[in-house]
Chains A and B, each alone.
Chain A
Amino acid sequence: MSHDEPFHHTLTIRKDLCQGCTHCMKRCPTEAIRIIGGKAHVDPERCIDCGQCMGVCPHNAIVIEQSDFQQIFQFQYRIAIIPTLLIGQFEDSITELEMIDALHAIGFTHIHYAEFGVDILKTLGNKISVYADAHPVVSSYCPAVVRLIQLRYPSLLPNVNLMRTPAQIAALYARVKLIDQGIPSQEIGVFYVTPCAAKYAQIMTPGSATSGLIQGGLNLDSVFNLMQSYFAQRPRHYKVSPTKWEIPIITGPAFLWSLTKGESAMMQGRTLSIDEVHNVIEFLELVEDERHENLDFLELRACDTGCTGGVLTPRNRFLATERIKHHAATLPKILDETHRAQILALSDKLIHNLKIDRIVAKHSLQLDQDVTVAIKKLEQVKRITAALPGIDCGLCGSPTCRALAEDIARGNASIRRCVVLKVTDPKGLNHLAKIWGEAVQKEARIPIEQQPTPEV
């Protein structure tokens, strides 16, 4: 990714459903949301696609971009890379074999677990190796966390592990394996079933780590719906023959990778696992100040309980986690010799493709690119903040009084938005608006739909 190239975003606000209630704005960890004209707007420069807003929206007005499922049929060989948490979305009555049967029935020809990438890595080296220039190593598994670091903690970018994620390695392996059997690469479509907005966004960002390796992302909830429809339409007493499909191979420890502590359990040295984006932020502040000792590896995940907490997962995250752990206990601890040999036979094609490009910083939280101008704006922010009521009510459409002060200093808002001042000191407000600006010229910078959508 070149310098400051915009992130691709998958979260969109449905203006017909949004009530402008401020829940999402208050929850957003990067203060990316403003309520303008009674509707929520997301600043694409700040959004990290963590999906927190979607989780708290009481009106289901925040949705994730959908890719057309039919796109998979452009390819003769249709590989599904599924997260192990998919099995956790079903109750025990649906077996792993039935899940695989359903995935074939809806159109896939080959199925791999994304976390099988962990077993591939472990087979290629003797341990899970990492590529990072600074200590402690920060996992790059969660794309929302990587974006958070790009945006808020650029000094920690050298700590980020540049190893491809298991899903990318599994995708690479799945493709290389078919090519090795003589199948032309262009006939192979690899599709990743994603449990969250961030992973989908990562796939869709041009030049990002997964482009080329993976042809598309499919939202887990829509794949889940297709599978459930298949189950509903199956004849009564339908039994899948145990030999009908090959069960994708994976070890127990790899099966747990996407859960909290799943990744850190396999890392060397002293490790720490932190889940939920606000917790991650709290801890990254400490890491940035070097106020921690002796830590070797940090597993950081934007969702609580890990990927089972992803916004696209239909089932309760605790129940899903329990089933995944239960299933993992039935799996082998280490990979058998046959599968090891299959991986090692392709090692030449895999081993040089395990590292991703250096990740660059984003500069969207700064008041200005020019330090001199930024200092001036900051002085202004200080003065405006002092004039604001300081109760962070959010009625102005900015998450805090301080955020409104920054919006005013940036030229994106007027102090007239402050409802409290309007009521308590209308004359003073007139005076302040004259000093700090009435006109809100730059608001067009935030993409707003020109025509208001009629209420449904």
Chain B
Amino acid sequence: MHISYQVQAGDFSNAGNVSSNIKKILKQLNFHPSLIKRIIIALYEAEVNVVAHSYGGEVVCNIAPDTVIIVVTDTGPGIPDLSLAMTEGWSTATAEVREMGFGAGMGLANIRKNADELTIDTGANQPTSITMHFSVSTEVKNEP
């Protein structure tokens, strides 16, 4: 199944709404709690990135019984040096953004840690598209 949500740039007070909505859906579908947790942590980071660093964007979520694929795309301005952006603790967030409790520089690193597969398509003055694959089989089938 296919769901999509818009994400507004700079709307920090609503950052996290998309992840909350998707979490509710995943829980109703009886996915393993630890899979849901991984998805939501990664998605939340990606959502905050769109709010904090982009001109706005969209989250598209494709749910199948064996995989969950989430594509987060924005309309720019892009990441000039991706390997630097993947470094834990490195952030371009402004002081204002940091004051709101965001911009710790863990975003992309946290996404990489939680997604089974991660593709990032970006560049200076380009839109950024992040594709996260989550595989159901990664989770232990046992109860938490």
- A→B interface (CB under 8 Å): 3, 152, 154-155, 157-158, 285, 288-291, 360-361, 363, 365-372, 374-375, 378-379, 382
Q: Which residue of B lies closest to A371 (CB)?
A: B65
> Does B1 contact A375, Cβ atoms closer than 8 Å?
yes
Q: Which residue of B lies closest to A366 (CB)?
A: B30
> Does B65 contact A157, Cβ atoms closer than 8 Å?
no
The listed residue (B30, B36, B40, B143) touching A374 by CB distance below 8 A is B30
B23 cross-chain contacts in A, Cβ below 8 A: 285, 288-289
A379 cross-chain contacts in B, Cβ below 8 A: 1
> Does A155 contact B144, Cβ atoms closer than 8 Å?
yes
Q: In the complex, A365→B36 CA distance in Å?
A: 15
The listed residue (A155, A288, A369, A378) touching B25 by CB distance below 8 A is A378
Residue B118 at the chain A interface, CB threshold 8 Å: no
User: Secondary structure at chain B's binding surface: helix, strand, loop or mixed?
Assistant: helix
> Does B143 contact A3, Cβ atoms closer than 8 Å?
yes
Q: Which residue of B lies closest to A152 (CB)?
A: B27
The listed residue (A363, A366, A370, A375) touching B64 by CB distance below 8 A is A375
> Does B29 contact A374, Cβ atoms closer than 8 Å?
yes
The listed residue (A152, A288, A291, A369) touching B30 by CB distance below 8 A is A369
> Does A375 contact B29, Cβ atoms closer than 8 Å?
yes
> Does A368 contact B30, Cβ atoms closer than 8 Å?
yes
> Does A155 contact B65, Cβ atoms closer than 8 Å?
no
Q: In the complex, A116→B67 CA distance in Å?
A: 51
- Asked whether A360 and B25 contact (CB < 8 A) given A290-B41, A374-B30, the answer is no
- Asked whether A375 and B65 contact (CB < 8 A) given A363-B30, A369-B30, the answer is yes
Q: Which residue of B lies closest to A153 (CB)?
A: B33
The listed residue (A154, A290, A366, A369) touching B144 by CB distance below 8 A is A154
Q: In the complex, A161→B89 CA distance in Å?
A: 33
> Does B144 contact A157, Cβ atoms closer than 8 Å?
yes
Q: In the complex, A158→B25 CA distance in Å?
A: 22
> Does A365 contact B16, Cβ atoms closer than 8 Å?
no
Q: Which residue of B lies closest to A360 (CB)?
A: B143
Q: Which residue of B lies closest to A375 (CB)?
A: B1
User: How many A-B residue contacts, CB cutoff 8 Å?
Assistant: 64
B21 to chain A, nearest CB (A): 11
**What would be 26 A-B contacts, judged by CB atoms less than 8 Å apart?**
A3-B143, A152-B27, A154-B144, A155-B33, A158-B144, A288-B40, A289-B19, A289-B40, A291-B16, A360-B143, A361-B33, A365-B27, A366-B27, A367-B29, A367-B30, A370-B30, A371-B30, A374-B28, A375-B29, A375-B64, A375-B65, A378-B1, A378-B25, A378-B28, A378-B29, A379-B1
Q: In the complex, A289→B23 CA distance in Å?
A: 9
The listed residue (A152, A285, A361, A368) touching B143 by CB distance below 8 A is A361
Q: In the complex, A152→B136 CA distance in Å?
A: 20
- Asked whether A291 and B44 contact (CB < 8 A) given A361-B144, A375-B1, A378-B1, the answer is yes
Q: In the complex, A379→B65 CA distance in Å?
A: 13
> Does B28 contact A367, Cβ atoms closer than 8 Å?
yes
Q: Mark B104-144, 1 if CB is under 8 A from A, else 0.
A: 00000000000000000000000000000000100000011
A372 cross-chain contacts in B, Cβ below 8 A: 65
B65 cross-chain contacts in A, Cβ below 8 A: 371-372, 375
Instruction: Tell me the B1-29 residues at the A interface (CB within 8 Å).
Output: 1, 16, 19-20, 23, 25, 27-29
> Does A288 contact B31, Cβ atoms closer than 8 Å?
no
Q: Mark B27-48, 1 if CB is under 8 A from A, else 0.
A: 1111101101100110010000
> Does A371 contact B19, Cβ atoms closer than 8 Å?
no
Q: In the complex, A72→B64 CA distance in Å?
A: 56
B28 cross-chain contacts in A, Cβ below 8 A: 365-367, 374, 378
A293 to chain B, nearest CB (A): 9
Q: Give the interface centre of B27, B34, B37, B144 by most chain A CB atoms within 10 Å.
A: B144
Residue B60 at the chain A interface, CB threshold 8 Å: no
B136 cross-chain contacts in A, Cβ below 8 A: 371
Q: Give the interface centre of A152, A158, A291, A368 by most chain B CB atoms within 10 Å.
A: A291
Q: Shortest 9 CB-CB distances between A and B: which pairs?
A: A155-B33, A366-B30, A374-B29, A371-B65, A372-B65, A154-B33, A379-B1, A367-B28, A375-B1
The listed residue (A3, A154, A285, A366) touching B29 by CB distance below 8 A is A366
Q: In the complex, A368→B31 CA distance in Å?
A: 11
